[in-house]
Amino acid sequence: MSERAQFATKMGVIAASVGSAVGLGNIWRFPYEAGMHGGGAFIAIYILCVLFLGIPVIIAEFIIGRSTHQNANSAIRTLAPGSKFRYVSYIGICSSIMILSFYSVVAGWIAEYMFQSLLGGLNGHSTQDYAKTFNALAGSPWRSILWTYLFLGANFLIIRKGIQKGIEKISNFMMPVLFLLLIIFCINSLLLPNAKEGLKFMFMPDFSQVSPSMVVGAMGQAFFSLSLGLTCLLTYASYFNNKTPLVKSATIIAVLDTCVAVLAGVIIFPAVFSFGAEPAAGPKLVFEILPGIFGQMPGGYFWSLAFFILLFFASITSTISMSEIFITFCTEEHKMSRKKATRLNTLIAMVLGTLCALSFNLLDDFKIFGKTIFDLFDYVSSNILLPAGGFILAVFVGWVMDKKIVKEQLTNSGELNVRTMKPIIFCIRYVAPAAIVLIFLYVTGLF
């Protein structure tokens, strides 16, 4: 294990983890989930989930990964020989493949929007026209599949180069630029007529709307957006060096990720109300609203092109991190070559991605539990598998792992004075596991 790569700089650590966290989850999924669940109350619960479930579980993943410098399966075997907890890595592998499959479809749409922006096709139309633009894309089996494959191909090429070169360089440069662009769009949206309605929708919670599906949706969104529960950050932390401050890094990642999601909301919702659109439009929401926003900005061609290019890269840094779970598992547990593991990962995602892409056209009537394959993959992985994985990891760190190692990891063997250590350990041991179980009981109607 000693020759495993390590992140070269402290910036590299944070940038790569933020690169994993920030992606379509913030800019596509967060606004549409918030829109479907009535806005403010969802966002309030979401933020609570980030604070009391998200940050503790990030830290739990970091502790396991960094203390062993190994992948999830062998890390847990090292820390607790013979323990069944290592099976959490299989949840991680299944859900990472499921997420990669539907994520690539959405990222493929982003890629096509990038291409259309380049050709000038996303400029100067009305909101209704953009709804048609999106329906034509998602409704066409061959276009959706083609762009899904192109995206997976790009992902494949980047991963084959190995972790350090690929990930670090790209995310170091792209993330700050994306952030800047989002702030500009935010200001633009706030100046739209009727912007106040959008802000009210986001920031005036109506708690009478709280429902089991909203709470489980907010929890799932928090796990999804923070890349949690499927040992993705655990795998990244296995590349951290012993100086990386875990608590501080986890907090920075959670805060930045939440800022990006809230910024995306402040870009989308004022525009939704200003254009007279429907906030509960679902997965197509941002694809219909964003081009309309760029259209009314001076220099819209440039903004739309820049935005879709950056979002494309934000998606790729996320899919790289998802792919890394499967690949690390194959190469380190099954001694497969990195090339072969990368190919296998891409191939499986292509097959399942095809089914997800077809869920908006040929297979849109094919439903399991009332959901299309795309929706089912999304729901099962985000709302069930990720929180279940998070539960197992938190219980493992809180109850099974040697307390001395946990404290050593939190303080870097006593070098750091972490004043929040007690509350963090309390959250990992009690708050996060209990909240996840209660939310599951709430949604199944048992509580």
**Contacting residues toward ligand TRP, per CB under 6 A:** 20-21, 23-26, 99, 224-225, 227, 230, 232, 318, 321-322, 386
The residue number with the shortest CB distance to ligand TRP is: 25
Nearer to ligand TRP by Cβ, of 21 and 199: the residue is 21
Least distance in Å: CB of 274 to ligand TRP?
26
Structure tokens given for 221: 């969104």
Least distance in Å: CB of 67 to ligand TRP?
21
Nearer to ligand TRP by Cβ, of 99 and 435: the residue is 99
Nearer to ligand TRP by Cβ, of 379 and 430: the residue is 379
Least distance in Å: CB of 381 to ligand TRP?
8
Least distance in Å: CB of 411 to ligand TRP?
27
- SS3 string, the chain, reads CCCCCCCCCHHHHHHHHHHHHCCHHHHHHHHHHHHHCCCHHHHHHHHHHHHHHHHHHHHHHHHHHHHHCCCHHHHHHHHCCCCHHHHHHHHHHHHHHHHHHHHHHHHHHHHHHHHHHHCCCCCCCCHHHHHHHHHHHHCCHHHHHHHHHHHHHHHHHHHHCCHHHHHHHHHHHHHHHHHHHHHHHHHHHHCCCCHHHHHHHHHCCCHHHCCHHHHHHHHHHHHHHCCCCCCHHHHHHCCCCCCCCHHHHHHHHHHHHHHHHHHHHHHHHHHHHHCCCCCCCHHHHHHHHHHHHHHHCCCHHHHHHHHHHHHHHHHHHHHHHHHHHHHHHHHHHCCCCHHHHHHHHHHHHHHHHHHHHHCCCCCCCCCECCECHHHHHHHHHHHHHHHHHHHHHHHHHHHHCCHHHHHHHHHCCCCCCCCCHHHHHHHHHHHHHHHHHHHHHHHHCCC
Nearer to ligand TRP by Cβ, of 106 and 431: the residue is 106
Closest CA to 246 of 50, 432, 60, 20: 60
Nearer to ligand TRP by Cβ, of 15 and 195: the residue is 15
Q: Whole-angstrom Cα distance, residue 99 to residue 24?
A: 11
Nearer to ligand TRP by Cβ, of 224 and 396: the residue is 224
Nearer to ligand TRP by Cβ, of 97 and 410: the residue is 97
Nearer to ligand TRP by Cβ, of 223 and 275: the residue is 223
Least distance in Å: CB of 20 to ligand TRP?
5
Least distance in Å: CB of 50 to ligand TRP?
12
Least distance in Å: CB of 428 to ligand TRP?
19
Least distance in Å: CB of 186 to ligand TRP?
18
Nearer to ligand TRP by Cβ, of 57 and 355: the residue is 57
Least distance in Å: CB of 257 to ligand TRP?
7
